[in-house]
Structure 1
Amino acid sequence: MRRERFDQMNVVPFIDIVLVLLVIVLATATFVTNQTIKVDLPSASSKKNEEKKSIQIAVNKEGVYSYGKEVLSLELIRERLMKLDPKKDLISLRMDKSSEFQYFVDIIDILKTKGFENISIITQK
């Protein structure tokens, strides 16, 4: 019995598998990105203390920045954010709807430079 030489690989089954995986990823990706459902959380008698520190940053329509309850300049906010741990700390942004978009971009730029992963943007329904 004579053996044929293996010169080419049949890639059709591989393409079929990749296309099926692509359809699955595209179908589930829309559910993952649209996590903007408002949830009214139940209350419990026991509450676990979180290790994460929640930082509130707010900007009003005049461009006045506040860090927690203190009114600070953008540079002072930058200095304080650089001292935080980007993996552990949670940043919550509150922006006035009539504020300039540049204020938002300035804060996000600082957060992305430091590598913050836990950023939430507070909105009103």
Structure 2
Amino acid sequence: MAVAKDRGGRRRPMSQINVVPFIDVMLVLLIIFMVTAPLLQQGVEVDLPQAQAETMEPDPERGEPVVVTVSRDGQMSLNQGPQVNVPLEPRDLGEIVAGLLAQRPNTQVYVRGDRNVDYGRVVDAMVTVQAAGVSRVGLITDPAESER
């Protein structure tokens, strides 16, 4: 502890906050977040088909839409729920979608299908989602080359 002298020559303690450990901790946290942030960006790589379709604006009142992704190898996954971007069987997919719809009944549901996947797998995903209680299912595409 530092000591200061007053006019009478007596010593009185000086209280100061040492911020060096605080700065060290903050730098360590910054490094940890910089390393882990790219790892949190998960997703399923899908080569979407192109179409000249009207762009749909998200509805903020409905919240984030549920997106079912059908990858090139035919695996289905979700962007929400307990198993995000994990391959799911159609039965499990239907149960999770039904649970999400029970929480938020007006949620929009879309299907992202890779352009090289068997069309039947995309239809299976749509049928599974409809069996879970979704009345309208949208398809996600990339804009056509002329629109880019």
Question: What's the TM-score, normalizing by structure 1?
Answer: 0.54
Gaps of 5+ in 2: 1-51
Say if 1:103 and 1:50 are closer, same or farther in 2 by CA, change over 3 A.
same
CA distance in 1, matches of 2:96, 2:56: 32
Share of identical aligned residues, percent?
Answer: 17
CA distance in 2, matches of 1:52, 1:39: 18
- Assess if the C-alpha contact under 8 Å between 1:81 and 1:111 holds in 2: yes
CA distance in 1, matches of 2:112, 2:101: 20
Give the aligned partner of residue 84 of structure 1: 100
Q: CA deviation at 1:103?
A: 0.9
Q: CA deviation at 1:117?
A: 2.2
**C-alpha RMSD of matched pairs (Å):** 2.7
SS at match of 1:58: strand
Q: CA deviation at 1:65?
A: 1.6
Give the aligned partner of residue 32 of structure 1: none
Q: CA deviation at 1:37?
A: 4.5
Q: CA deviation at 1:90?
A: 0.8
- The answer as to 2:111 corresponding to 1:93 is yes
CA distance in 2, matches of 1:81, 1:116: 9
CA distance in 2, matches of 1:91, 1:40: 12
Corresponding letter in the other structure for 1:57: V
CA distance in 1, matches of 2:60, 2:56: 20
Q: CA deviation at 1:61?
A: 1.4
Deviations 1:34-84 (A, max 9, x none): xx743597xxxxxx8423441111111111222104223123212201213
Corresponding letter in the other structure for 1:65: M
Residue in structure 1 matching 2:128, options 89, 92, 110 = 110
Runs of 4+ in 1 over 6 A off after TM superposition: none
- What are the residue-to-residue correspondences of 1:12-91 with 2, within 5 Å? 37-39=53-55, 49-68=60-79, 69-74=84-89, 75-85=91-101, 87-91=105-109
Larger Rg: 2
CA distance in 1, matches of 2:94, 2:138: 17
Question: What's the TM-score, normalizing by structure 2?
Answer: 0.47
- Assess if the C-alpha contact under 8 Å between 1:89 and 1:118 holds in 2: no
